Copies of this chain bind each other. A is one copy, B any other.
């Protein structure tokens, strides 16, 4: 028919990229394996060779999202390392990275967490969440060593920080970056000083 080679060559990545775009532009309901196949210029059953299920595609998409989010968090930490920053700056950096991701890809973030509490979700997703918590934990532990974070179970502290970040990101989806970034500074400051009376 066409001069297109029989083998696409990189169908899996193409499908994932296409899926992420559709997800961002038209939401999860609009995702259709057949449409992705059409966009990639392959037959309607071709995606089945790379993803057993529609669910498998969604899982792969979610996992890919976690990997990128994780990379963004670690990149943020590295930048603060270079700047020799204090713990507050580290936390703000992590927060910016997390919220930036959430603003850029709200639907993807939803997907990532929605699939997480399906009981038959792949363990890789749970591991990805664990890796993120570990990144926050590292920052907290370092802060404690520097005397900039209060004593106490660092895991509990990290969990609280991660909760706040995720909740803030979840609430902020849809707002403008400027507004959010301003609020973010307040949040990190409040988190450090506490809500109780001085």
A residues near B, CB below 8 A? 27-29, 54-55, 106-107, 110, 113-114, 116-119, 129, 140, 143, 147-150, 152-153, 156-157, 159-168, 170-171, 173-174, 183, 186-187, 190-198
Contacts and interface: CB of A to CB of B under 8 A. Distances in A.
Nearest to A118: B27
Contacts of A166: 166-167, 170-171
User: Interface residues of A: mostly helix, strand, loop or mixed?
Assistant: helix
A28 to B, nearest CB: 8
Q: How many copies of the chain does the oligomer comprise?
A: 2
A175 to B, nearest CB: 10
Contacts of A174: 116-117, 119
* Highest count of chain B CB atoms <10 Å: which of A156, A163, A165, A183: A163
